[in-house]
């Protein structure tokens, strides 16, 4: 599974990375996490507000930092 954190490096972006890692680790998933800071790449996803979480190329959430439990629900539906 590929997880991407879209954002320029703000505190919310760092928090989204932290909770995404925690959720994936708690689910025991085999995943790769990449931080995408390039504004053009972020806009290629159609994301206008960060942070955003992309799972296997699909934007799952943007503009807020969900809880670990919410992220587990988003990434376990594979």
List active site positions. 10, 13
* Residues composing the chain: 78
Bridge-based pairing state of the strands 2-6 and 52-55? antiparallel
The 2-6 sheet, strands edge to edge: 32-36, 2-6, 52-55, 58-62
Could you give the residue ranges of the DSSP H alpha helices within 28-78? 39-44, 68-75
């Amino acid at each position: 599974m590929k997880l991407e954190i879209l954002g320029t490096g703000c505190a919310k972006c760092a928090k989204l990375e932290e909770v995404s890692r925690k959720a994936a680790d708690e689910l025991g998933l085999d995943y790769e996490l990449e931080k995408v800071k390039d504004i053009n790449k972020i806009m290629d996803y159609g994301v206008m507000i960060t942070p955003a979480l992309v799972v296997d190329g699909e934007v799952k959430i943007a503009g807020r930092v969900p809880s670990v439990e919410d992220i587990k629900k988003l990434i376990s539906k594979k």
